[in-house]
Amino acid sequence: MKKLLAVTACPTGIAHTYMAAESLQKAAGEKNVPIKVETRGAVGVENELSAAEIAEAHAIIIAADTDVDEARFAGKPIVKVAVAQGIKIPGQLIEQALALQASAGTAAPQAQVAEGSDGKRKQPVFYKHLMTGVSHMLPLVVAGGLLIALSFFKLNPDEGTFLANLLKIGGAAMGLMVPILAAFIAFSIGGKPALAPGLVGGMLSTQLGAGFLGGILAGFLAGYVAKWLIQNIKLPRSMEGLKPLLIVPFLSVLVVGLLMVYVIGTPIKSLMDALTVWLEGIGSGNKIMLGAILGGMMALDMGGPFNKIAYTFAVGLLGSGVYGPMAAVMAAGMTPPLGIWLATVLAPKKFTQEEREAGKVASILGLSFITEGAIPFGAADPFRIIPAFMIGSGLTGALSMVFDVTLRAPHGGIFVLLVPNAISPVFMYLIAIAIGTVVTALLVNLFKKKTTQL
Amino acid sequence: MELNIHELLTEDTVFLPLEVGTKEEVIARMTEGLKLSGSVTDGVQYVSDVLAREATGSTGIGFGVAIPHGKSAGVVKPGLAVARMAGPTDWDSLDETPVSIVFLIAVPKENVGNEHLQILVALSRKLIHDDFRQSLLDAGSKQEIIDILKNM
């Protein structure tokens, strides 16, 4: 049974709002269509639609002469008319709404899943927002990652050459990854007004070195801040027009920006400083331990502060002629995307079509030491996937140290093999990576519960 | 449910029948009733607010009913006037049919207790139903109209 929802509103909020509501209810009753009508009139909002009802609804009819916040209906088909039409042609509106399909809008995939699943079990709202962000980020990761991988046909290409430009384009795409992730998590929560603070929060996360985990945080922050501002700022009617154009954009970006810089940014900086000191303390005293820690850090946030510290630490040691940690770090950075690819191959049923395709791309990114290739999977289900990545990467890092592998180039992935003597011993290095990949894949499939929609 | 409709509607504000005229004439005549009942103090202000609302879109909601209304500084307490027209009256209605029943609603500019608003809300909802409208059309006296509205 398709359920419908409706919202009615008019400027005076006395007559039309309620007539349209009654009209729609009457017409729906005659057609035996369940409907709930929210009225936004002079006596306040009555019969308010809940998030759960919206998620379950087939479509939404808005019959209003005032602005109705549509953000909460993101992805749902909407029939939008003047309030008078709700009174005049309620039957037609109901037919129209029933005939609509979920649009290709943002939250549509979730909406269809909710409909398609036999039970009424819905994804927790937290994951819905994450998935909206991840699905918009994914094309950037794929395009950026592949372009960067292509540019590795020659390591350190000269400035201005074609390969260097590919690297530049890929870098631009990768640079947008976290802002888009944050922006669409925010969008999923707060609608269009949340996009701007989400983008800015994501950008700041990148600039502050907070990586994709910071981006996820920024997205949720921006979404709820924008939503709160929209609901709670009250202006005299003559200035109401300023709210969406000036007040909400300005305040939401300001608040999210300040929170990112002072509340997220400052601790991240002290964390990074402390970690660096700590890593130096471990030194090469216990090299297996060091390899495991560096590996785990690479996989923890894949481009965030932990990853950067581990990487910078290893690169720093290159200058002192210590090549072991670099090898461990690169190997550990390759196993998350490689592991996710293997996981999709081993248990395709646990993944959606989209994820399986993304898995193929991840294999290339993994070989190229573009750890970010695994971010969409990690971001979609962080509490299950990231531990799997960390264990696999930690193991690989430790093995690389055990095998005394040395690496003299700071990047390049498998393409480093093309450079004579950059890695040795090559065979043991590949074994370390292979073991980590297999362990990651098995753990991912063990932890992963069911298909998550991308 | 029995509503305390007396405070909104008195015999002064029931017009049975009201002679046909333009929209403006009908609103002006009914406003006189609202002044008598003590709801409207500034008739000029109130009529201009009602007409301003009317200008944004006809309040002829179809089914032969119009509900002109105004939230106005000329109103001190919520009021309701109802008129059964002597003949079909043009109201630029949504369904392009003339109206035979007009409800004129007066609401003070400052928000007042919800109770009165609730009555108007209930009335608005009731008007959608054919049998309710028919009973108003069939009513033979002012008191009968008041009783119908009281018991809606």
Closest Cβ–Cβ partner in B57, B61, B114 for A43: B114
Q: Is residue A431 domain-resident?
A: yes
Q: Is residue A317 domain-resident?
A: yes
A-B CB pairs within 8 A amount to 69
Q: Does A12 touch chain B (CB under 8 A)?
A: yes
Q: Does A26 touch chain B (CB under 8 A)?
A: yes
The question of whether A10 is a catalytic residue gets the answer yes
Q: Does A18 touch chain B (CB under 8 A)?
A: yes
For the residues A200-220, what does the mean pLDDT come to? 91
Contact B94/A23, CB-based, under 8 Å? no
Mutant choice from A12, A16, A92, A237 vs B, greatest count of B C-beta within 10 A: A12
A96, A127: one domain = no
In chain A, residues with a C-beta closer than 8 Å to the C-beta of B61 are 15-16, 19, 84, 87-88
Contact A19/B53, CB-based, under 8 Å? no
The pLDDT of residue B14 is 92
Residue A117 banded pLDDT, cuts 50, 70, 90: very low
| Structure token digits, residue A452 | 């998550």
The pLDDT of residue A155 is 67
Task: Give the C-alpha separation, A396 to A407, whole Å.
Answer: 14
B4 has pLDDT over 50: yes
Fold adopted by B5-150: Mannitol-specific EII; Chain A (3.40.930)
A154 has pLDDT over 80: no
Closest Cβ–Cβ partner in A11, A12, A84 for B94: A84
Residue A343 banded pLDDT, cuts 50, 70, 90: very high
Domain final residue, candidates A214, A232, A265: A265
Catalytic pick from A6, A9, A10, A299? Answer: A10
A328, A359: one domain = yes
A269 has pLDDT over 60: yes
Task: Give the C-alpha separation, A89 to A284, whole Å.
Answer: 78
A319, A451: one domain = yes
Domain count, chain A: 3
Residue B149 banded pLDDT, cuts 50, 70, 90: confident
Q: Is residue A83 domain-resident?
A: yes
Residues of chain B with a CB closer than 8 angstroms to some CB in chain A: 53, 56-57, 59, 61-62, 67, 69-71, 94-95, 105, 107, 111, 114, 117-118, 120-121, 124-129
Residues β-bridged to residue B101:
B65, B84
| Structure token digits, residue B3 | 């509503």
Cβ contact B49:B72 at 8 Å? yes
Nearest alpha carbon to residue A42 among B109, B103, B8? B109
What are the C-alpha distances in Å from A129 to residues A101, A109, A394, B43?
A: 21, 12, 30, 54
Q: Which of A157-161, A329-333, B25-29, B96-100 has the lowest mean pLDDT?
A: A157-161
The pLDDT of residue A385 is 94
The pLDDT of residue A236 is 77
B2 has pLDDT over 70: no
Closest B-chain CA to A13: B121
A174, A292: one domain = no
For the residues A234-250, what does the mean pLDDT come to? 81
Q: Is residue A295 domain-resident?
A: yes
Residue B107 banded pLDDT, cuts 50, 70, 90: confident
Q: Is residue A272 domain-resident?
A: no
The pLDDT of residue A176 is 94
Q: Is residue A276 domain-resident?
A: no
Q: Which of A53-62, A109-118, A404-413, B11-20 has the lowest mean pLDDT?
A: A109-118
Domain final residue, candidates A265, A298, A323: A265
Q: What does the mean pLDDT of chain A come to?
A: 85
A184, A43: one domain = no
Q: Which of A103-117, A256-270, A390-404, B118-132 has the lowest mean pLDDT?
A: A103-117
A297, A421: one domain = yes
A138, A249: one domain = yes
What are the C-alpha distances in Å from A430 to residues A330, A335, B50?
A: 12, 11, 82
Mutant choice from A83, A87, A237 vs B, greatest count of B C-beta within 10 A: A87
Residue A102 banded pLDDT, cuts 50, 70, 90: low
Q: Is residue A180 domain-resident?
A: yes
Task: Give the C-alpha separation, B83 to B13, whole Å.
Answer: 8
Contact B124/A14, CB-based, under 8 Å? yes
A304, A260: one domain = no
Residue A115 banded pLDDT, cuts 50, 70, 90: very low
A221, A247: one domain = yes
A141, A13: one domain = no
A231, A366: one domain = no
Mutant choice from A19, A66, A83 vs B, greatest count of B C-beta within 10 A: A19
A87, A196: one domain = no
The pLDDT of residue A264 is 87
| Pairing label, strands A423-424, A406-407 | antiparallel
Which domain, by its residues, includes A166? 123-265
Contact A87/B57, CB-based, under 8 Å? no
Catalytic pick from B6, B69, B116, B129? Answer: B69
Q: Is residue A452 domain-resident?
A: yes
Residues β-bridged to residue A432:
none
A267 has pLDDT over 60: yes
CATH code for the domain of A66: 3.40.50.2300
The pLDDT of residue A122 is 45
- Residue A393 or residue B115, greater confidence: A393
Contact B125/A11, CB-based, under 8 Å? no
Domain final residue, candidates A95, A116, A137: A116
Contact B124/A84, CB-based, under 8 Å? no
Domain chopping of chain B, boundaries: 5-150
Cβ contact A166:A225 at 8 Å? no
B113 has pLDDT over 60: no
Burial per residue of A279-313, b for 16 or more beta-carbon CB atoms within 10 angstroms, e otherwise: beeeeeeebeebbbbbbbbbbbbbbbbbbbbbbeb
The pLDDT of residue A110 is 37
Closest Cβ–Cβ partner in A17, A42, A88 for B62: A88
Q: Which of A138-152, A232-246, A382-396 has the lowest mean pLDDT?
A: A232-246
For the residues B108-135, what does the mean pLDDT come to? 78
Q: Does A131 touch chain B (CB under 8 A)?
A: no
The pLDDT of residue A283 is 66
A115 CB neighbour count, 10 Å cutoff: 13
Task: Give the C-alpha separation, A313 to A232, whole Å.
Answer: 47
